[in-house]
Structure 1
């Protein structure tokens, strides 16, 4: 039976001891094991030979084994009656015969713990049972050695295996605890200070990089998508005084053709005057201009923009709104779509590039005055711009485009079942120029342009008899849809005399069109001298000529811009006056001071002279301020401006004008502006 038990224990004892050690690693048993542990050899094994006699023969009766006293493993077995006695130490050279040192029982010493004081030595087999300890594992090994089940070497091996199993069990337990942490438990892993600093720097760099990309790092900045929008605007309050000296002809010599052509046709056989321009009564008024716009970067070279503006009417040459106008009584004012466009730009570096514009946009052509284009005119259509540098000082630019001036109403004529053919009007234009910069002290820019105003002239209709003012002719769309004053006009309805109109003495409902085609060649130049910085001296010049002007043909049909009526010796009129209009316009100017205001105290002074004959340019698009707008004028302009801040300025201008052809007409216009931009 003992042989069977011995074989069983030799096979399963390591597992049993490992289990006991694992159980003992927690609670009171673990603490007791650590308290009794003693380092032996390399610190892992704790086996010391005991002063014991050889184990007796199988038939010899062994002393009873005392029960363990550990609180972690209580036993119901009564304690032995035999008292333990001190063992007599064996001779020093008799270690080969010793199996176990009962004076120093075997102990497990977990790594990293200090040994506890050894317990009292236990008796050898010759003197009695071993002294019990509070460690179940140690007591068990002591008994097995005493009974001869284990040898000294096997005991050492078991201790080493048990210590290794304890470490494995502790590692697994720590891993399981980390995976299943109680909801109220927070486990904190120790992180070295240098690692903390590195982590903080990495997080800081990551957050700042994201903030810069998304635009929320700095206060009052916008996210990336909003940064593509650029809002801008301006407000101008103007005092305008128009003064007429004595001597102007106020007998009905200045028909308001715009009022006629934008309303019902005028009965030239009637007994009332046609609408007339004011030429003798002074007018003073406050006028407001307010504009608000946004430019949008659409990326990949694309951009767009929209601008709205005030305006008393749909005039292309003015965005002024008279305060107290539009019915008065603090009535609200109209807002117009002033700009709306898309743009594509491509540049190859070195300042060369090409741009395409679509929609309604600013004037794409280089000009130095307003004799051809008022600064408020917006162009509808498509335009292209090209700039090519030839060297560091010289570059060439080319501008061109096609622009619809008038498009026939889809239902024209609205009160007739059979509609009339379309009569659309276009502007085709091209410009080429050079820009020269010698150094910072001198710059020059000159250009030549050709403007083909297609089908803007009036034409005579098919003969017909209008019975009412609503009876349209097939030439009605040849009249201009907007005009200022100055151009020469002609009748466009060919009304047949008949009994229905008293043979031409009644029902002569008439519209008027331009008496000449317009093919305008224009030359513009600007010279800037910056030798006197911070002040700049600029010389400006512009010349325009209508290449399709034919005075003789106009003389046959013109109803205005004629000279004095010839009379005979008795003072009776013998005909109509000769046509006195012309085809040429030019302007010269000088500006001294800051070209662009940048801070309070910046100023400039200007002086100019212009000469614009009646049919040199289309009067609808020329300067709307000089002589209250239009052509057939000459005169001077004096101006001064002062910056109150980088964005607020005041200016004053005086313009004295005299009519060139036709009856005498003079005017003085004074403008005082308070302007702000943002």
Structure 2
């Protein structure tokens, strides 16, 4: 509290005390004489004038009224009251009209001061709390993953390239025992059931001048970009504590924010800025970098929009390679995205949204370089993906030369560049309000995909039964959703049916949906789901996903998820 505030509150406290004194004075009581009353009266009135409770004119009026009443009392011969033991005098009368005026003015000043400083006004909060918003959610999930007969465990289609590339030292491919015992594989034939937890807590703050900032923390089995799920009983088991990760952190500026137009810029780690379905991007993916979006209504119900952004996918370690005196040249990986589209309202109950996007990855594909047999590090190693799921076509990254009696170390990289063209559409029909019918879909094609170019490399997966390469570069999604657009009240419901087809190299598998087919690409199949609100902020959901591989060895999996989610 500042010194000025302290003095102001002392003045208000004095004013309240004087008001209480004035209010308690009986209207019939009168002082003995004006002379006796004047010293204490003057002291009190001077204090009240000094604190701003009353004006000098009001104080003079009070004195004159008191003197008139003293004179009248003396004329009636009434005795004066005995002085107090310490010789001080007291005022025993203030006119009723003055008391009421004092009450009103003091109350007004006290309440104004309290409201301005947020220290005593009822039903108010400090100013900073009005600019900060907390939100979060907790989800419990049962998940069952069921594999039918016919999958091929141990095939190269089931190699966990992500786990392999995370090895600090690659495996010697000339050592058959090492190949048989050290290469990590995905589970493709043993059913699994698990309970999973997701907890997220976010905060956003209004900074004024059209700036906002925010951050969010979330659970997760690891630092995967596509999932914040924590498997219960995981992380070592025995009720071990779980990790919390920084999931979002951003600064946002609304340069223009009107009903018919807008322009905004966001930097940091933030939600997907593009209009999308879960064909290309998992819902949990957070984008690192900078993005700008703009919209402008060109006609009633027609509002074109544009979104552009630049996002670092991988930044070369400062000391790569840490074990070599000669460092590897920087090979940063970037994603550049641009999307243009429009919203359109052709009828009262119809809303349409259309967009075309181009996502261009730079340096995400593997780079083959000459390396020496027996060398544990090589410049091409930095071109392997830092995170992957499954489905993309992989190739060996080292062209080993020299003494072939030494170890033939290898890492794996993506066999194709990714320049993705995406067409996205959604149609909402509200003719059965409050029930909405929504159809949405997306088509994607990797314009950089070329079988002829890929066959020049030492490919490792996605071969057909005859030995020929069978990967592809396109994908599409079709979905129908019926129900409440938002589960806001008890018994609100929504159901959906979708079909997804995503070839091996249509998109980067590390950022694709992590649930369908256990995550990644090279998958096709059906999704059926529904949600039911149990309260305003609590709902349950059930989803069944049936996925099969498109290229390579047979692979199928059925996944069942039952959720309950609470938000605040």
TM-score interval, smaller chain = 0.7 to 0.9
Match of 1:509 in 2: 409
Q: Contact (CA 8 Å) 1:297, 1:303: kept in 2 or not?
A: yes
Verify: 1:317 aligned to 2:226, yes or no: yes
Match of 1:456 in 2: 364
Shift of 1:211: 4.9
Match of 1:266 in 2: 171
Shift of 1:191: 3.7
Match of 1:640 in 2: 530
2:420, 2:463 → 1: CA distance?
23
Match of 1:373 in 2: 281
Match of 1:327 in 2: 236
SS of 1:620's partner is: helix
1:494, 1:671 → 2: CA distance?
44
1:284-363 to 2 correspondences below 5 Å? 284-347=193-256, 349-363=258-272
Question: 1:75-134: CA deviations, max 9, x gaps?
Answer: xxxxxxxxxxxxxxxxxxxxxxxxxxxxxxxxxxx9979999xxxxxxxxxxxxxxxxxx
Cα distance change on mapping 1:115 and 1:256 into 2, 3 Å: closer
1:217-236 to 2 correspondences below 5 Å? 221-236=124-139
Which stretch of structure 1 is more off in the superposition, 184-193 or 613-622? Answer: 184-193
SS of 1:553's partner is: helix
Structure label with greater radius of gyration: 1
SS of 1:421's partner is: coil
Shift of 1:346: 2.4
SS of 1:260's partner is: helix
Cα distance change on mapping 1:535 and 1:214 into 2, 3 Å: farther
Gap runs ≥5 in structure 1: 1-24, 28-109, 117-181, 502-506, 566-576
Match of 2:493 in 1: 603
Q: Contact (CA 8 Å) 1:213, 1:224: kept in 2 or not?
A: no
Q: Contact (CA 8 Å) 2:373, 2:404: kept in 1 or not?
A: no
Match of 2:338 in 1: 430
Q: Contact (CA 8 Å) 1:243, 1:282: kept in 2 or not?
A: yes
Shift of 1:219: 5.6
Shift of 1:355: 1.1
Shift of 1:220: 6.1
Match of 1:398 in 2: 306
SS of 1:259's partner is: helix
Question: 1:528-562: CA deviations, max 9, x gaps?
Answer: 00110111100011111111111111123221101
1:677, 1:547 → 2: CA distance?
41
Match of 1:245 in 2: 148
Question: 1:607-656: CA deviations, max 9, x gaps?
Answer: 00010000000000010000010000000000011000011110000000
Cα distance change on mapping 1:291 and 1:218 into 2, 3 Å: farther
SS of 2:401's partner is: coil
1:517, 1:235 → 2: CA distance?
38
Match of 1:563 in 2: 464
Cα distance change on mapping 1:214 and 1:112 into 2, 3 Å: closer
Verify: 1:671 aligned to 2:561, yes or no: yes
**Equivalent position to 2:511, from 621, 632, 639:** 621
1:114, 1:636 → 2: CA distance?
105
Cα distance change on mapping 1:391 and 1:664 into 2, 3 Å: same
Match of 2:4 in 1: none
Question: 1:455-478: CA deviations, max 9, x gaps?
Answer: 1000102332234xxx21011110
Question: 1:305-345: CA deviations, max 9, x gaps?
Answer: 11111010111000011111111111111110001111111
SS of 2:135's partner is: strand
Shift of 1:215: 5.3
Q: Contact (CA 8 Å) 1:554, 1:579: kept in 2 or not?
A: no
1:485, 1:654 → 2: CA distance?
20
2:161, 2:339 → 1: CA distance?
31
Cα distance change on mapping 1:461 and 1:224 into 2, 3 Å: same
1:604, 1:183 → 2: CA distance?
84
Q: Which has the higher contact order (CA 8 A, sep 6+)?
A: 2
2:338, 2:144 → 1: CA distance?
38
SS of 2:379's partner is: coil
Verify: 1:583 aligned to 2:483, yes or no: no
**Equivalent position to 1:487, from 372, 388, 392:** 392
Aligned length: 486
Structure with a larger share of its residues in strand? 2
Question: 1:646-671: CA deviations, max 9, x gaps?
Answer: 11110000000010000111110000
2:386, 2:88 → 1: CA distance?
84
SS of 2:520's partner is: coil
Match of 2:160 in 1: 256
